[in-house]
Chain A
Amino acid sequence: MPPSLPILAEPTLFSLPEMLLFTALVFTSAWLFWRRFGPILGRILQSKKDPDFHLFPIGKRVWDFAWEVLLQARVIRERPLAGVAHALVFWSFCVFGLVTLNHCAVVFGLGFLDPAGRVGRLYFDFAAIFAVGCAVGILGLLVRRFLVRPKWLGELSWGSGLVALLIFALMATYLAAFFVTTPGGAVQALWWVHTITLLAFLPLIPHTKHLHLVLSPFTVFLSRGSFAHIPPLSGDEDFGLVAGKDLTRLVSLQAYSCVECGRCMEHCPANATGKELNPKEIVLGLRGYLNEFGPQSEEALLGKYESQRAAFECTTCGACEFQCPVGIEHVPILVGLRRGAVNTGTWENDYGSKLFLALERGSNALGMSAAERDKFVEKSALPIFDGTQEYCLWLGCMGAYDPRGRQIVLALVRVMRHLGASFGVLRKEKCTGDPVRRLGNDLLFQQLAEANLEALTQNRVKKIITICPHCVRTIQEDWKEFGTPPEVEHHSEFLARFASQLPSVRDEKKIVFHDPCYLGRYRNVYDEPRQVAALAGELVEAPRSHERSFCCGAGGGLAFLGEETGERVSHVRVEELVATGADVVAAACPFCNTMFQDALAARGDSAPELMDIAQIAARGLPEDGT
């Protein structure tokens, strides 16, 4: 070690009263921490067990933990500046674990890191670098919270300010000890200030959002395992999140883990368009409920702490869950609250009832007669699936009944014929149950899933292709609860595979592709539809794209629920897409398509052309499809 490096000054001798005082302070601090944290832990552990939780396979958990917690990747990626500041604080805390242990051990003459020794000096200097980073980081966060004040951080929280000052004080006292050259009072004083700051910080943790320090590593590690996973109901008395007794351990753990950063709120399309829903308040509402009523209560969740109206404003776009840095899974919570209201019949909504009744008696969410689908299939001469074709072309409600959806299907059919892919449609098809699944009607969803699974088995379907990302998701993931669904693929994946065999029509158009939530965040498919869209010209990107894509407003069954309050989500999104200056808005979901159609029509003239990627792929083909 070059002798020029500074050396940490550390008191060497402590009197007996000092030792006793230190011991008393440590116990007081630990007791104050536990007095608050113990009941919280109790409420989490007393919650219902999660019916489908499996620790294994553990590989993904370890990876998520390393990536999201240790490397802080999600925190940094979604908010780079604040994220790096936070990461500096976090990494410093990790490095300071050893420093703090040694700091306490020296009281009893048990210090294991010698500031003058080779290892000790190296480590203390190493920690000093982090201390500088941490001090800068926490000051930056303090400025952001109290001066910049982004609205998603909510009201000013003095607890957060106090904690930030304490962290700064910890770093300052640590660094100051490098500049004290003479042993004696100053060294002792710095040591005590550092110690008291530390012991004051500990009890503050469970009282403030800094509880995430303790809980969120567990929350990230113990996730449900897949994005927006809706857990199965268990037993005859489980109707979703009706009351406290229905909150599972994971839900309770997540409720207490919330760090109130507001990323969920910032990205929520409902919140951004002036609706009541704020995903952060949903999570904090559960925390408030647990604090007042506890995890075994019969008190309804939708009431004092949670609003039914807010729960039913969610489009299940999953932006909140995708953004959350502490592993909170908002979609199962929001769908859980809806399940509780719908499965017990307490949700009364004219549009919702109409949708449910249409699917109780009929086959599709649009409430049309099944004969309309028959006519479309017949008129378009779509082959009937007989088990010999490679693909079962799943029309879905939009593809079978909606005029624009039908055009998309016919475009895909032309491309499939051009490529020589064999396919057929089922004689009868029922809605996959996507809208009722997301709205929380488990009875109807089960009936639809079971009827469809039976029909697919009878028809010996091995592989499904469909134009609707909602159908893809529901068939592949949600139906698993009731059987083994066949392989399913979205048409963007199919088209991208054969993109080289499709004629590109280069007419110098600028194309903006809108990532549908159920294709992007839900299925992690971003490049394939772009590859197809690029057949028609030059791609431009919207400000919010890929995993940050902004919903069209149709998901979660909301396409069927009539007027929105506040601004329309679809209008906001369309403005953003139009502002890119694109000539073509490319969609890959019939629901996005219909929402944008209306929003573009409402804008009036000079609207860009709206096309599905199947229509883009089919553009260069001769009209007869050969």
Chain B
Amino acid sequence: MKIVVAIKQVPDRDAPVRIAADGKWIEERELQWAMNEPDAYALEEALQLKEKHGGEVIVLSAGPERVGSTIREALAKGADRAIHIVCDDLGAGAGGGLRNFDALGVARLLAEAIKPESPDLVLTGLQSEDLGLCQTGVILAELLGLPHATLILHVEKTDAGLKVKRELEEGWFQSIEMPLPAVLAMQSGGNKLRYATLMGIKRAKTKELRAVNAAELGVEAAPVATLEQISAPKKQKSTQMLGGSAKEAATALVEKLKTEARVL
């Protein structure tokens, strides 16, 4: 099976996030970067499918030079080769993150890079940890003219195509059979991620890493959505004291956990 995994580099969880002066994106200096977590699960699924059925895993990522480190990480974990769409306008830029490429623009870039590969399967995370649009994967499927499914936890190859496990709300799952080729947007947590190894990193040095740019792919930036402003969430903390006897307080607490917090 030839599998393409589209991966995004996002600010690291522990990185200090500050809003840039123009209020349209975050300050990118002094940030540490990491692989978008749902994409890491997409990569893991691809690697496991390859280990079971053979084939090739190609990593695809769009972004500036710094994205190289995440691509190398993916190669180190076992991907066979990589395509880097070098694209400086992605992410911050002076006028905001999506100034030149919105989700549609990014999906176009990815689609153009994927087409000549004609893979059996395209995997990507269901959303990015920074923008969280959940759009890129499904637009990509549309552009490639392939069937897609989202929120996938598990993929099984069958004679006819694929059988996938899809996460629904409130602990429900859906099992879908679908043909190949296809695009799947992967949910986090379906697999156990593997750790990076020294041997993987050393071997990654010899793997093919091809760089292309938007012009070579014939994609021009034509955003249909623009990001106007971002803001930090307002911190809200409220404390309620439950009075009465221990029994009354416990009853009230259970009631609130059921009706307000809805965790019971």
Contacts and interface: CB of A to CB of B under 8 A. Distances in A.
Interface of A: 233, 236-237, 239, 342-345, 350, 352-353, 356-357, 360-363, 369-371, 441-444
B198 A443 contact: yes
B219 to A, nearest CB: 31
Nearest to A346: B197
A371 B13 CA distance: 10
21 contacts: A233-B198, A236-B202, A239-B198, A239-B199, A343-B199, A345-B195, A345-B197, A353-B194, A353-B195, A356-B196, A357-B195, A361-B12, A361-B14, A362-B14, A363-B14, A369-B13, A370-B14, A371-B14, A441-B195, A441-B197, A443-B198
A343 B34 contact: no
Interface string B184-195: 000000001111
Contact of B194 (A343, A345, A362): A345
B200 interface: yes
Nearest to B73: A360
A362 B14 CA distance: 6
Looking at chain A's contact residues, the main secondary structure is helix
Interface in B202-254: 202
B201 interface: yes
Contacts of A344: 197-199
B201 A443 contact: yes
B193 A357 contact: yes
Interface of B: 12-14, 34, 192-202
Given A370-B14, A371-B14, A443-B201, A360 B195 contact: yes
A441 B196 CA distance: 9
- From B13, B193, B195, name the one whose CB has the most chain A CB atoms within 10 angstroms: B195
B14 A356 contact: no
A301 B202 CA distance: 21
Contacts of B198: 233, 239, 343-344, 441-443
Contact of A361 (B13, B192, B194): B13
Contacts of A441: 195, 197-198
Q: Which 8 A-B pairs have the closest CB atoms?
A: A356-B195, A370-B14, A343-B198, A443-B198, A345-B197, A344-B199, A442-B198, A353-B195
Nearest to B14: A370
A345 B200 contact: yes
Contacts of B202: 236-237
B197 A443 contact: yes
Nearest to B34: A361
A343 B195 contact: no
B257 to A, nearest CB: 25
Contacts of B199: 239, 343-345
Contacts, number: 52
A519 B200 CA distance: 35
B126 to A, nearest CB: 19
Given A345-B200, A443-B198, A353 B14 contact: no
Contacts of A369: 13-14
Given A360-B196, A441-B198, A443-B201, 12 more contacts: A343-B198, A353-B193, A357-B193, A361-B12, A362-B14, A369-B14, A370-B14, A443-B196, A443-B197, A443-B198, A443-B200, A444-B196
Contacts of B12: 361
A356 B76 CA distance: 15
Given A239-B199, A345-B200, A442-B198, A353 B13 contact: no
A442 B76 CA distance: 14
Contacts of B201: 443
Nearest to A237: B202
A362 B13 contact: yes
Nearest to A368: B14
A370 B197 CA distance: 24
A233 B198 CA distance: 11
A322 to B, nearest CB: 29
A542 to B, nearest CB: 38
A357 B34 CA distance: 12
- From A233, A345, A356, A442, name the one whose CB has the most chain B CB atoms within 10 angstroms: A345
Contacts of B196: 356, 360, 443-444
A344 B202 CA distance: 10
Contacts of B193: 353, 357
Contacts of B14: 361-363, 369-371
Nearest to A443: B198
A236 B196 CA distance: 16
Given A362-B13, A369-B13, A353 B192 contact: yes
A369 B202 CA distance: 30
A357 B197 CA distance: 11
- From B192, B193, B194, B199, name the one whose CB has the most chain A CB atoms within 10 angstroms: B199
A353 B193 CA distance: 8
A112 to B, nearest CB: 60
- From A233, A344, A443, A444, name the one whose CB has the most chain B CB atoms within 10 angstroms: A443
A578 B12 CA distance: 45
A416 to B, nearest CB: 28
A360 B196 CA distance: 8
Contacts of A345: 194-195, 197, 199-200
B57 to A, nearest CB: 15
Contacts of B195: 342, 345, 352-353, 356-357, 360, 441, 444
Contacts of B200: 345, 443
Nearest to A341: B197
A361 B201 CA distance: 16
A35 to B, nearest CB: 40
- From B14, B192, B200, name the one whose CB has the most chain A CB atoms within 10 angstroms: B14
B13 A350 contact: no
B68 to A, nearest CB: 16
A342 B192 CA distance: 16
A441 B198 CA distance: 8
A369 B17 CA distance: 13
A343 B13 contact: no
Contacts of A343: 197-199
A237 B206 CA distance: 13
A442 B202 CA distance: 12
Nearest to B15: A370
A335 to B, nearest CB: 14
B197 A350 contact: no
Contacts of A352: 195
A306 B21 CA distance: 59
A522 to B, nearest CB: 24
A237 B197 CA distance: 13
A350 B193 CA distance: 9
Nearest to A373: B14
